[in-house]
Amino acid sequence: MQQAQEQPQGIDNATRFLQSGAQTQITPEIKKISEGFQGEAIEKASQITSFLRRLQQTRFDNEVFRKRTAAQILSDNYVTGCTDSALVFVALARASGLPAKYVETIDKSWLEKGGGSIGGHIYGQVFDDEKKGWVWVDPMGGQVDIPVPSERVVYKEGLDSWDIGITDFDSLRKLFETFRNEWLEHQKK
């Protein structure tokens, strides 16, 4: 039996993030768009975030919140916020050959205080062979290779929103409340 070779940190699970999730299927349209992105990880990620600026931005819409696929978002030609931007980003990144994570974060201030509007943001991460690690991307903000956001806590990483169990606002609220309670207990220790 052969022993597994030591791999740089992150490469072992990077191939998982070349797969499509239910919301991030690589359709012929997504594949065609992705063919225009060239270069190494940082260059491709920058080109994808530039492409996202072409999509119209509208206000939050509970009717479509977490319910559309990347292909539907592209077809509708609008995003309602960071979730939609991240879904399209990770689908295009994967279609162009970049392992990409969908990263759900929660504002530390909301975790500490609770109540009111839930604060958070969706990021992407792409695996950069040159850095031999994951690089943070803010698809909505159009920023690549950003520092790990210190004002937020990672809730979960996955293939897309549905992959981490968030399918609408009700599921988000329930999962975030449970996470908040566990996070507060952990902070007491």
How is residue 27 annotated by DSSP?
-
Has residue 2 got a pLDDT over 50? no
Q: Rg of the chain over CA atoms, in angstroms?
A: 17
Note whether 164 and 158 are within 8 A (CB). yes
Instruction: Give per-residue pLDDT as tens, 24-77.
Output: 999 999 999 999 999 999 999 999 999 999 999 888 888 899 999 999 999 999
List the beta bridge partners of residue 56.
Answer: 78
**How confident is residue 116, by pLDDT bands cut at 50, 70 and 90?**
confident
The yes-or-no verdict on residue 96 having pLDDT over 70 is yes
Record: fold of 11-188: C8orf32 fold (3.10.620)
Question: What is the reported pLDDT for 57?
Answer: 86
- CB distance 57 to 97 below 8 Å: no
Q: What share of the chain is helix, strand, coil (3-state, %, to 5)?
A: 40, 20, 40
Per-residue tokens: 43 = 């260059």
**pLDDT value of residue 48:** 98
In angstroms, the CA 106 to CA 27 distance is: 30
Distances (CA, A) of 159 to 5, 43, 88, 127: 26, 21, 12, 14
Q: 3-class SS at 100?
A: strand
Give the start-to-end residue ranges of the domains of the chain.
Answer: 11-188
**pLDDT greater than 60 at residue 5:** no
Q: What is the pLDDT of residue 185?
A: 94
Confidence (pTM): 0.91
Nearest in space to 19 (alpha carbons), one of 93, 121, 85: 93
pLDDT tens-digit map of 138-166: 999 999 999 999 999 999 999 999 999 99
Angle at 128 between CA 125 and CA 132, to 5 degrees: 115
Task: State yes or no: pLDDT of 1 exceeds 50.
Answer: no
